[in-house]
Structure 1
Amino acid sequence: MTPRPLFAPLDRVTVEQIPFRASDGTELGLCRLTANSPTAQEPTDRPAVLLLHGLTASADMFVLPETRNLVDALLGAGYEPWLLDWRGSCRLPHNEGRVRYTFDDVALYDIPDAVSYIRDRIGGRQLFVVAHCLGALSLSLSMTGGLVPGLAGVVAQGVFMTPKYSARSRLLGHLGGEWGRSRWTHLPVDFTKVGFRSRYTPMFALASLSAGDCDDPTCHILHNSAWGTGASLYVHENLHETTHGRLAELFGSAPTWIGPHLRRMELAHTAMPWNTGGQGYDRLPENALDSADRIDCPVLLLSGSDNKTFHDSNELCYDVLSSRYPDLDVRYVEVPGYGHVDPFIGRGAALDVFGHILDFLDERSAAPSREGVPAGRVSEGSRSSR
């Protein structure tokens, strides 16, 4: 199996696509990106950054050709980006396949195996992780299970260890999610593929009720409904026109079987495994918050102020971690005017968001250790990245 090609700006970057399989046999996608410049050189001390997408998205969200994307920003700042398409990627068939997975599998296999491979390639250079949404939540299980020690730093965007919905999303997500799971194995976003007479038509019709001036059914599902949960993935006006037109390529079907696991974690406001015992799942913590003392690197918690998918999850995470683990270097940054995924795919993200990420990476890549770096809290407005 080969993942479909990235929608990467090939005039700006070279993509090294790496055949990659997790240790449980699941085929994934992994690639390394380098600058496509006649003057570009390959520094031997360049820190590496692993980027993790959210559920049903893919590595495409980091390489949008129509904007100055995060990979552009990382390459320009002297970092080496690596992109993992874990098993929840829409570039892979697993969300619509017969073999089901949970976030335990992502935390136990996908992320640690990718980190191990990258470390073999980069030697002693530093490795950071920038993770979004359920990629970040799965990462929190890997970290608190001691499966990825020695990272130089982690940026978790949207949610990390304490998933939290709004009251409306909790009602629709918990009740409606169970109803949907009894009828469908996955929920699509591309209306052109399912057709008007499909069994999914009522879902699209409900999502269109608050469509406003937008006439794109995929946008209705993502912006007005988030697959029937009542959430919203982005602030509509933050998207570039080209990005808006490519939503059906950037997001795929949501598997309904992951709903119970996500609901269990949201009700408890903590990351926790679904499986118990056997097949190595006992390596994951019973409760990530209770094992957060195993986190051995600085963490930047990032969120848009208008995050209507995971509400104020990262603010809650900061409050809990800084209270329970005062020696942990954890920071919280809230970006005004942004939602859940537009901090990465928004047309102005390079100006408003990426500077926070690069400042954190720069500070930590220059620091030989985390000693003497106090936990801090930042809530500030837009700023320019370099």
Structure 2
Amino acid sequence: MTITEPELITFRTADGLDLRLRRVGPADGPAVLLVHGQGVSSEMFSLTEIRNATQVLADAGYQSWLLDWRGSCRLPYNESGPPYTLDDVALYDLPAALTEVRARIGDRPLFVVAHCIGALAVAQSLTAGLLPGLAGVVAQGVFLTPKVSTSTRMRVLLGSELIGSRVNHLESDFRKVGLWSRRTLLYAALSRKGECPDPTCRMVHHGWGMGAELFEHDHLDARTHDRLAELFGTISLAPLAHLRQMELAHAVVRWNIDDDRYRALPANALDHADRIDCPVLLLSGTRNAAWLDSNKLCHEVLAARNPELDVRYVEIPSYGHLDTFIGRGAALDVFGHLVDFLDEHSAGQA
């Protein structure tokens, strides 16, 4: 097996933003496009302090393509870019990334593995027919039927209606908030609850997670916990209203209803699930407090409404949300499910 040197590729979307792809792994293996969540980055798949997803995939013969879409904390758009919704990610970022990967892998099998908000955008793109010819999709945490707790719903409402009208973005690193910052009281409110003594950790849970635990503490390597401020950067509040709309509908819905530029996206992705033309694996931790049992619900709904689809659901015992990828034991507890799914469906395309 020939391993290529890591390669960084910059590409531009149709609406003019420069995004990044990193290619790592075997030169001629099936390809896996890895899609992160909001406010983190593709680094969540390649943490150096643990046996990470890209290492496991490489050992299994897969070439990883790590995407940094416009919601990545490694790009400037959360802080200084134009406002965006998941419609933009689904219409511009994901199809453009797929085109870049396809241009370099030819007819080799191509999978998508997506986490959280990234998985919602993949659901939009996939049901719009904008991601054709995939060998399979893995969606972690949520896919077509977003569902959160009542307390989280209220925090999303507060964030979109009150905070969002006054603040465009938030930092996760509590140390960057000065004592005399106009946001000091907001940060103090967002980070005041929680058992962990690290204020950045509390900020991550109660700011990014809207009050829900994003991961099980016991599953993180101490070195990962110590660098949470690096892994979570600036987050844009612009998508909050769209997320609120989706959660209220318990479905992935289009935000830009009256804008012809987004007409390619379905008004309700669940109503067009029959356009999904590849197998789907829905993953979730049994302690996922961010999206509760969204993927279990999705599996039940699709089994009833679209029994012809190849959709399966796997729960990871004792795991929460983000620790399914950044947990120190994820290589043993989680990634085997990914590899088994990829192996099954790449063999069918060989």
Give the structure-1-normalised TM-score. Answer: 0.87
1:117 aligns with 2:92: no
Partners in 1 of 2:43 and 2:5 — Cα distance? Answer: 14
Q: 1:228 to 1:290 in 2, by over 3 A?
A: closer
The partner residue of 2:186 within 179, 188, 203 is: 203
Sequence identity of aligned pairs in percent?
Answer: 57
Shift of 1:366: 1.0
Distance in structure 1 (CA, Å) of the matches to 2:268 and 2:209: 28
- The equivalences for 1:8-47 within 5 A come to 14-34=5-25, 42=27, 44=28, 46-47=29-30
Alpha-carbon shift at residue 277 of structure 1 (Å): 4.6
Q: 1:216 aligns with which of 170, 190, 198?
A: 198
Aligned twin of 2:135: 152
Deviations 1:174-224 (A, max 9, x none): 134421112211121111222222223223323443332x3221101113x
In 1, the alpha carbon distance for the partners of 2:202 and 2:269 equals 34
Quote the residue 2:324 is aligned against: 343
- The counterpart of 1:331, out of the listed 301, 312, 324, is 312
**TM-score when normalising by structure 2:** 0.95
- For 1:60 and 1:303, the matched residues in 2 are separated by 20
Secondary structure of the corresponding residue to residue 323 of structure 1 = helix
Secondary structure, aligned partner of 1:28: strand
- Tell me, yes or no, if the aligned pair for 2:32 and 2:64 is still in contact at 8 Å: yes
How big is the shift at 1:127?
Answer: 0.2
| 8 Å CA contact retained: 2:174, 2:203 | no
Does 2:229 correspond to 1:248? yes
Instruction: Give 5+ residue unaligned stretches, structure 1.
Output: 1-11, 36-41, 370-386
Please name the residue that 2:89 is paired with: 106
Find the aligned partners of 2:21 and 2:13 in 1 and give their Cα distance: 11
Relative contact order, CA 8 A, sep 6+: which one is greater? 2
SS where residue 16 of structure 1 aligns?
Answer: strand
CA distance in 2, matches of 1:99, 1:24: 11
Task: Return 5+ residue gaps in structure 2 as ranges.
Answer: none
For residue 252 of structure 1, give the secondary structure of its aligned residue in structure 2.
coil
State how many pairs are aligned. 348
Task: Check whether the contact 2:142–2:294 (CA below 8 A) recurs between aligned residues.
Answer: yes
One-letter amino acid of the counterpart of residue 13, structure 2: A
Q: Distance in 2 between matches of 1:184 and 1:330?
A: 40
**Displacement of 1:228:** 7.1
Q: 1:320 aligns with which of 298, 301, 304?
A: 301
Q: 1:288 maps to what in 2?
A: 269
Aligned to 2:110: 127
8 Å contact from structure 2 (residues 25, 62) kept in 1: no
Q: Secondary structure at the match of 1:183?
A: coil
Question: SS state of the match for residue 303, structure 2?
Answer: helix
Give me the whole-angstrom Cα distance separating, in 2, the residues matched to 1:306 and 1:13: 37
Q: What secondary structure sits across from 1:30 in the alignment?
A: strand
Deviation at 1:21, TM superposition (A): 1.1
CA contact (8 A) 1:107 1:141 kept: yes
Name the Cα RMSD after superposition: 1.7
* Alignment counterpart, residue 278 of structure 2, candidates 273, 297, 314: 297
Other structure's SS at 2:337 match: helix
1:10-40 Cα shifts (integer Å, max 9, x gaps) = xx984200121112211111111136xxxxx
